[in-house]
Structure formats: C-alpha cells, structure tokens
Structure 1
Amino acid sequence: MTAPIRVLIADDQMMVRQGFTVLLDAEPGIEVVGQAVDGLDAVAKVAELAPDVVLMDIRMPGLGGIEATHRITAAPGATARVLVLTTFDLDEYVYEALRAGASGFLLKDASAEELAQAVRVVADGQALLAPTITKRLIAEFARVTRSARTARTPRQGRAGDLTERETEVLSLIAQGLSNAEIAERLVVAEQTVKTHVGRILVKLGLRDRTQAAVFAYETGLVRPAGY
C-alpha cells in the first residue's frame, strides 16, 4: 500500500489552515500532518514532521513565505516541495517565490479537486504553473536578461552537458509545455520525454521543472521571442 502524501499547511489565517485541512484530509492518499502559523513555524515544522508538500502562504508576519521557502528547499537533504498559496494569479511575489525554490503556485480559491490535484502533481515532482504565471515569468525573465545580458553564472557552464535533444526539451519546458505536449511536438513517446526531463534535472543539479525553466531563462539558454 502506497504511503499517503504528507502535507503541512503554512498560513497565518486560522480559517484558511483549517479549511484546507478539512478538504485535504477528505481526499484519499493525502494526510495533513501539521499546520504552521508563519514562516519560522513552517521551517521548524518541516524539520520536525518531514512533510512531502508544504502549502505556503506568501504574506505572513515575521518570516514571510518566500524566505521560508528558500530555507526549506535549501536545507541539506531537503525533500519537501513547496506549493505557494496566493490570492491573485498575478501576485507580485510569485516570481520570487519560484526563484526561492517553490515548485508551483495555487490560488486560495481553488476547489477541493484542484487543491488535491495540485498536491499530487507537486508531490510527484512536477511543476504546477498556470498559463498566466508562465507568461508573466517569461516577461520577467526577459526584463532581467535585457538588463544583464553579459552576466554569467556558474550554472551556465552546466548547460553544455546537455545533448541537442535535451536542450530542445528544456526549451519547451521553459515555454510551459507539459510532457504530453512536448511528446506531441517532438513526435516521440511521452515516456521518452520523461526520460529526457529526468536526465536534464540530474545533469543540471535541479529539483524539478520549475527550476529547469528558471535555469533556462536566467542563463540565456532560452530567450523569450523578441529579445
């Protein structure tokens, strides 16, 4: 029997924490193991409870969700994946949260079905980005790369380890395509795409597709059209 996905909910609003707890505990294969009232509490609870997924509010008193996300994902041996909670899909902090290591975002008004699906997707190692956020990320990366085209980070050299096909797959990931969409575009089996994605993450030392997209744009390996 497969162990349930362990979830920690971090939000300074008690009604949000309790509401999400009720919704998720009613879902098969998902178990809420704890709640955190702010970022510091979230970091401590992750170390104590070892959840698979953290639902992280961005705006909290004291230590906010962005710094908490960074501390959680940057910790040695970190395995918890962070799913950012936001009120608006164009929240100004979503970009920074993803750069801090979040695996995706979820609107607070999501349905029970959407919430459960989001937890399962992130727990499975996939990224969860809505089209509006993907477009906004691309625009932000375009702005950043315009202002720092000559900047070069140590991670850029690792792109040379990718094969031509892996580079092509990475480009499509950065454009927000799913494995199924990439498979259709390249006329290959979806399992083949999954294999390529896995190799890309290993070669680049990245955790998931979100980090791969960030890597692609920040290093200039992929550039938005028109830039």
Structure 2
Amino acid sequence: MWTKVKWAFRIIAALFVLGFLHYTLPQHDIVRITNTYNRLTSVGPENSWAYSVPDIGTAESTTTRDIRFIDASYADGGVIVYRNEDTGWIWPPYFKYDSSNLQAEAGNLKSTAEAPKWVVVTHYGWRFPFLSIYPNAVSMREATGPDERIIPWVPVVVIAFLIFLVVMIRRMWAQFWERSVEPVAAEMGETWDGVEAKASGVIGRIRAWLASWRAKK
C-alpha cells in the first residue's frame, strides 16, 4: 500500500513539473498572421494566473484589461490567437517590455492566403478557450517557409541542465546517506544490541536468583 502511495506521489509530482516546464519554456509556431487588434478582456480569479500583473502594460481595472491580440493561421488551416503582453520582471523571466513594438511588427507581417508570408512566433503558455487563456507571444521573425525546421535550443538546454541537477542531487544525497546516516544507524544498532544483551544478562541473573530461592523452599 505504501509503495503505491509513493509511486502515486512521484507521478503527480512529475506531471506537475512537466506541465510547469511545458507552460513556461518557449515554443515556436510557423504561422501566417491574419489580424492584430486590442480588446478589453475580463481577467478573473479563474484565469488571472495566466496574465501579467495589471500595472504592466495598459489596464482599465482589476477585472477588465486592454490587451493586444494577434490572430494567426497554420499551414494546415488551423488557427491560433496570441496575446501580446509585457512580462516585466515577473515570472516567467522573459523580461519583455516591447509589446507595442511587437504589435507593430506583427501588423507589418500580416498576409493573405493568396500571398502568404510565414512567420516564426516564439511564445509561452497554453490556449484554453473556455477560460479565455491565450499563449503570450514573445518575439517573431520571418520564416523561410511553412516547413522550416526549428531546433528548440532553450528547452533542450534547460531540460538537460535540470536532469544534470537532479542526478547530482541524487548522488550527493546517496553519498551523504552512506557516509553520515548509515554509520550512525549502524552504531545505534550495535548500541541497542549491547543494551539488549546486558538486559538479557541482568534478567537471566534475576531469574537464576529467584530459582535458587525456590529450590531452598
């Protein structure tokens, strides 16, 4: 039972870490930009975690925000909507302060289906329509085409570093356990064995003494 509980906890922790990394690390889309605009958007308790704080960019109130959006289309006809917000110094650490410039750049890269202009959009976050959550565009550039190969160097480096860090921590913990905990546990075990032996000897002598008194009677 305890083994199942431990594995369930490990799986939940692993899913949480993977979800956090998938949301935070940069992703790349090759799309055709179709529209750019500003829209008043409701930001409430259910989706505020996915938006920047109100004092970054423009804000109408704590629940309604004037947010920039970018509409785009994939080569297969699918569509995606990006928000364009400054991140400032808060998490995730993209230190983005040029959302106005990015909006102007997106407007300049708009194209039609007849004369497509493909763009690589770097973003983070997820798209949840029922919660009005949009990925945040961080940067963009013109692509060589809809089939351009993009190697996600940042996620690769970050994940490799985290794996290295986990392996090093496990090794350090194993060495600490072997050098510090196990000797103390072994010493305590030997001490307890000695106490038990002495107690057994004392109890044995008491029993022998009681037996001698019974024999005299």
Q: What's the TM-score once normalised by structure 1's chain length?
A: 0.22
Question: 1 or 2, which has the higher helix percentage?
Answer: 1
Larger radius of gyration: 2
Greater RCO (CA < 8 Å, at least 6 residues apart): 2
Question: 1 or 2, which has the higher strand percentage?
Answer: 2
